Chains A and B, each alone.
Chain A
Amino acid sequence: GESVGLHLPTLSVQEGDNSIINCAYSNSASDYFIWYKQESGKGPQFIIDIRSNMDKRQGQRVTVLLNKTVKHLSLQIAATQPGDSAVYFCAEIPGGATNKLIFGTGTLLAVQP
């Protein structure tokens, strides 16, 4: 599996700013993508998902964008709050009749007050 060693990519933002977390996925046949948030000591928590037939999906303060041409996924968080500080993972389901998730390595979002 992929690895960036012991150090996660980190995004540091000021409270109230917008955050953009990026993810490159590997399988062009993947047809479902999910963003998870993981707080310290907790399991991953579902944030938002998107199917491959969509380019954009919005939730409450979050937007996911999918660019299938370059196999890129992004999570935008509006008006970032201290409670948004966590590790964010993108995950893909490689298509077909399966629910096997393939996770990215994660990005640490640090919100400065």
Chain B
Amino acid sequence: NAGVTQTPKFQVLKTGQSMTLQCAQDMNHEYMSWYRQDPGMGLRLIHYSVGAGITDQGEVPNGYNVSRSTTEDFPLRLLSAAPSQTSVYFCASSPTWAGSQPQHFGDGTRLSIL
């Protein structure tokens, strides 16, 4: 199993451009989530999904859209990139949406907005 795979690993955008960050997992996990990590800070939850067709907002959802058409994929879309969205983005998954299960993380996408 590859686990959680994120692409691309690095990306530079200009302000106003749009982009989709890809996340795929091959563990048949129901729960998937997106976090952003800024320097010197912990991870903050952007959006999450408890199963195919179901998404919800996390702590910092503004400027981001998600969809979950399949169990395996959970893409994150930036519709109009802003410099404040420069960050490292992590996708994670766990078997179900219930608590008491550790989430498995991908290795991140490093995004710079100029």
Contacts and interface: CB of A to CB of B under 8 A. Distances in A.
A6 B37 CA distance: 12
A46 B40 contact: no
Contact of A95 (B59, B92, B99, B104): B99
Q: Which of B31, B60, B96, B101 has the most chain A CB within a 10 Å cutoff?
A: B101
Given A43-B107, A97-B97, A99-B97, A34 B102 contact: yes
Contacts of A96: 99
Contacts of A98: 97, 99
A81 interface: no
Interface residues of A, number: 35
Contact of A44 (B39, B43, B97): B43
Contact of A99 (B31, B35, B42): B31
A103 B42 contact: yes
Interface of A: 1-8, 31-32, 34, 36, 41-46, 49, 51, 89, 91, 93, 95-106
Interface of B: 4, 31, 33, 35, 39-45, 48, 50, 58-60, 90, 92, 94, 96-108
